[in-house]
Amino acid sequence: MEAQHNEAALAGPAPRLDLSVDGHVHTGFAKGRLSVGALVTAAEDAGLTQVTFADLAGPETTWLRAYFDAVRRAQKRTDLALRVAVEVEIVRPDGWVAFPADLGELEAISISLAGVPLPAGLTPPERVRALIRAGELRASEVTELVVEATVNAVERSSRYAPTQLARPLGVLAALGIDEAELDEHGIRRLVDACRTARVVVEVSEAWRTPSLRLARALAAAGVPLVAASDTADASQLGRWRYVRAVQGVVDWVSGGTPR
């Protein structure tokens, strides 16, 4: 762990997690039932100062104009800083993501991996688990595919818009694979890709990602981190538990006192 202190010194100041910011909130446009306005009111009540709305969207999405307009209208009625983003899925091993048709008014894109991008296509976790049980895939192969696709997506997406990485390596848990099976080289590849592409990594309250191990490596490398509820539930806004644990790790790496 001393090496991580030294690495942080070389990389510059470690990022600080601002718990008044929520970098990933879902609305009723794609997930949940609450309007943008209702979520803004809940965010105000929770003491937040900034919210990024990041509903899941793709090539077939038809509601983006209404979504943009709803956020803009809400901004006129609040002192909170509201950002409009979308979550997009990584769908191929080369890092191709399922962008919606219009990226023009987006302030960020949040990329996520919900399955494993096998050569035959994006494959859901339950199917991949079955392939592993049948001996058609090895867990180590799947882990490498997850890292490779994520690294490629980080590099690709950052060319088009400011990018956030949602739930980094979180799909491994859905696959029944312990992240501890990923060696330091794999961790380093992901961290280096995020740093080079200037990608912000979401610390997800809902998904408890990144792991403390990965969070330490990201913080030591100076990769920006943002607290993210990743929720459509107004009652969860500003209620940080896992994020506070990661905040303690970030403070430790930066030489401060863990909270």
Pairing of strands 116-118, 121-123: antiparallel
The answer to the question of residue 258 being in a domain is no
The answer to the question of residue 142 being in a domain is yes
Beta strands in the chain (DSSP E): 21-25, 50-56, 81-89, 108-112, 116-118, 121-123, 163-165, 200-204, 225-228
Nearest Cα to 55, choosing from 10, 132, 131, 110?
110
Residue 31 pLDDT level (bands cut at 50, 70, 90):
confident
The answer to the question of residue 206 being in a domain is yes
Task: Report the Cα 56 to chain-centroid distance in Å.
Answer: 12
Q: Which domain holds residue 100?
A: 2-253
CATH number of the domain to which 40 belongs: 3.20.20.140
Q: In the predicted model, what is the mean pLDDT of residues 124-138? A: 97
Please tell me the pTM assigned to this model: 0.92
pLDDT value for 14:
57
Answer for the pair 154, 194: CB distance below 8 angstroms, yes or no.
yes
The answer to the question of residue 140 being in a domain is yes
DSSP string, 38-100: HHHHHHHHTT-SEEEEEEE--TT---HHHHHHHHHHHHTT-SSEEEEEEEEEB-STT--B---
- The predicted-structure confidence for 44-54, as pLDDT tens digits, reads as follows 999 999 999 99
2-11, 14-23, 125-134, 239-248, range with the lowest pLDDT:
2-11
Residue with tokens 């509601």: 63
Helices 184-197, 212-220: inter-axial angle, 10-degree rounding: 50
The answer to the question of residue 171 being in a domain is yes
The answer to the question of residue 259 being in a domain is no
Give the number of domains in the chain.
Answer: 1
- The predicted-structure confidence for 205-228, as pLDDT tens digits, reads as follows 999 999 999 999 999 999 999 999
pLDDT value for 256:
57
Other CB atoms within a 10 A radius of the CB of residue 130 amount to 13
Q: In the predicted model, what is the mean pLDDT of residues 3-22? A: 65
Q: CB neighbours of 181 closer than 8 A, spacing ≥ 6?
A: 139, 140, 143
Q: What sign does the dihedral 16-3-216-162 (CA atoms) show?
A: positive
pLDDT above 70 coverage of the chain, percent: 93
pLDDT value for 13:
56
φ, ψ of residue 144 to 5 degrees: the values are: -65, -40
